Amino acid sequence: MRVFRHFVSGVVATALLLPVALSAQELRVGLALEPTSIDPHYHNLTPNNALAREIFDRLVMPDENQQLKPGLAVSWRPVKKTIWEFKLRKGVKFHDGTPFTADDVIFTFERAPNVAQSPSSFGTYLKGKKIEKVDDYTVRIITEKPYPLMPNDMSTFSIISKKHGQGATTADYNSGKAAIGTGAYKFVEWVPGDRLILERNDNYWGKKPQWSKVVIKPIKSGPARVAALLAGDVEFIDNVPTTDITQLEMNPKLNLSQGVSNRVIYLHMDQFRDDSPYVKAKDGGPVKNALKDVRVRRAISKAINREAIVERVMEGVAIPAGQLLPAGFFGVSANLKPEKHDPQSAKQLLADAGLPDGFQLTIHGPNDRYINDAKIAEAIAQMLTRIGIKTAVETMPKSVYFKRASRGGPNKSPEFSFILVGWGAGSGEASSPLKSLLHTYDKSRGFGASNRGRYSNPEVDQLVEQALATVDDAKRQKLLAKATEVAVNDLGIIPLHYQVNTWASRKGLKYLARTDEQTLYTGIVSE
């Protein structure tokens, strides 16, 4: 197994490079994943959120380790058990010169969880909260029960202009018409699939970014991204392919930055339909949805060799997962370990479930969203086929995948039966995946926003909601850990591994690896 330096930032990398002088004004970046929209509230997706915070800003700004720092809010405190008060930053102006005030925050609260056709909404962080204006630079957020995680939630979404947002559609943001924020960079142009251009906001309230212009080039292919860096076509790339890391580490003209992220790659299973569209009998005929049986779900988990996926598919650049977040994050359980590979036990569990000959299944996943995502799906299919679950693979671009996975079925229900997906805890603690992935789906309350398997367990719901209302940190930690244990032991999802992310730049630039995986152009600086 490769020895991977997952806690090292700015590792000096070690392919020939053409000598290209760095411009002090313009930065060219090659991204594996371009945003699906400029609308900061359309899709709760890492590439979208990273761009949004550069153009629009947040009330609370998480640093590279997701520690909370003042943003558009300079301070926050609970004034009562169910009321948080946020003091807003004075003197901030939107890109068009309009002053930022409490009215913009209130408007954002109304819009963010209710964007039409959103594949994954921000309702998880905003539903169940009422906001009121105290004065132009003070807002209060009210909940029915005590809610200690309010600052964490306020660090997950971007604040927009009421002036430009009223009546604006996602298309208006994509065209730039409504993309007027308070952030360090201004939107200039977006040609999907070709380029995204930003320019520095010289009137930014915070530290001015180094680059007057940033040209972002979507380069989906990993080898093509590396080639662009080596040729000097770009100065910085994200998502360095795992197969190239060792080679690039030996190049004295490159810098690499690498770190463990908060993202777990996992499997979601259809647990709400008796007749699931991609679950078939061994002969291809209809069969009752086997995924509703916990024994079948456990058999699937035991059939998966996580160590082999990490070593062979991920080139050693990942960590086997047994729960929702890696060690060190708030709410992690000390009692959960990655499921051991045990194909014989898996076969016995299938027999116990009345399926000694197995059944047929299709795994769906993206082919351009997570590190080696299509290869992971193929590996899992092979492992399941070996225990008698004949598994086909269908992968597709993320722009198609997430829409179908979330609402491609009848009455806008999730379409697929068995999916590969990932979740990064935007709030930096365990309530984020618990609320969105494992709490019973409840759109009106903002629970289960990305629960595409429609898993439902009253005990998990009760523990999550109790934790969210528990002010005492130690008690809340225990409740979140217990909720995680119940959900994972019930195979609400099947955790696979935690991603490790790698960025590369030309010598002379540095970047601090971020647990939230975001590529921030304000964070790319000269050494």
Residue 420, strand partner residues: 267
For 263, phi then psi, to 5°, come to -90, 125
pTM, two decimal places? 0.82
Sheet strands (E) in 81-224: 83-88, 130-135, 138-142, 185-191, 195-200, 213-218
pLDDT at 24: 56
pLDDT reading at 188 higher than 80 = yes
Q: CA neighbours within 13 Å on the CB side: how many for 319?
A: 22
Nearest-angstrom CA–CA distance, 74 and 260: 29
pLDDT reading at 11 higher than 70 = no
Residue given tokens 């926050």 in the structure block: 76
Contact 467, 147 (CB under 8 A): no
pLDDT tens sequence across 203-224:
999 999 999 999 999 999 999 9
pLDDT tens sequence across 255-304:
999 999 999 999 999 999 999 999 999 999 999 999 999 999 999 999 99
pLDDT tens sequence across 315-345:
999 999 999 999 989 999 999 999 999 999 9
Contact 389, 278 (CB under 8 A): no
pLDDT reading at 16 higher than 80 = no
Nearest-angstrom CA–CA distance, 341 and 494: 13
> Is residue 417 exposed (0-12), middle (13-18) or buried (19+ Cβ within 10 Å)?
buried
pLDDT reading at 22 higher than 60 = no
Provide CB contacts within 8 A for 319, sequence distance 6+.
6, 260, 310, 326, 497, 498, 500
User: Which of 469-506 are b and which e, b meaning 16 or more Cβ less than 10 Å from the residue's Cβ?
Assistant: bbeeeeebbbbbbbbbbbbbebbbbbbbbbbbbbbbbb
Please report which confidence band the pLDDT of residue 120 belongs to, taking 50, 70 and 90 as the band edges: confident
Q: What are the residue boundaries of the structural domains of the chain, listed by start?
A: 263-499
**Coil, strand, or helix at residue 401?**
helix
Nearest-angstrom CA–CA distance, 354 and 348: 10
Other CB atoms within a 10 A radius of the CB of residue 1 amount to 9
pLDDT at 329: 92
pLDDT at 4: 43
376, two tokens: 């992971």
**Helix-helix angle 473-489:458-468, to 10 degrees:** 160
DSSP 431-445: HHHIIIIISPPBGGG
pLDDT reading at 91 higher than 50 = yes
Least confident of 18-22, 94-98, 281-285, 454-458: 18-22
pLDDT at 5: 40
The whole-angstrom distance between residue 241's C-alpha and the CA centroid of its chain comes to 19
Rg of the Cα trace of the chain? 23
pLDDT tens sequence across 165-181:
999 999 999 999 999 99
Nearest by Cα to 379 from 391, 367, 361, 388 = 391
Query: CA 418, 422, 423 angle in degrees (round to 5)?
Result: 125
**Helix-helix angle 294-303:373-386, to 10 degrees:** 110
pLDDT reading at 59 higher than 90 = yes
> Is residue 247 exposed (0-12), middle (13-18) or buried (19+ Cβ within 10 Å)?
middle
447, two tokens: 């629970």
387, two tokens: 């225990």
Contact 374, 367 (CB under 8 A): yes
CATH number of 263-499: 3.10.105.10
Provide CB contacts within 8 A for 141, sequence distance 6+.
83, 84, 86, 129, 130, 131, 150, 154
Nearest-angstrom CA–CA distance, 442 and 460: 14
pLDDT at 379: 98
H or E element, residue 503: strand 493-506
Nearest-angstrom CA–CA distance, 16 and 413: 50
pLDDT at 7: 33
HEC profile of 97-114: CCECCHHHHHHHHHHHHH
Residue given tokens 């963010």 in the structure block: 112
Residue 519, strand partner residues: none
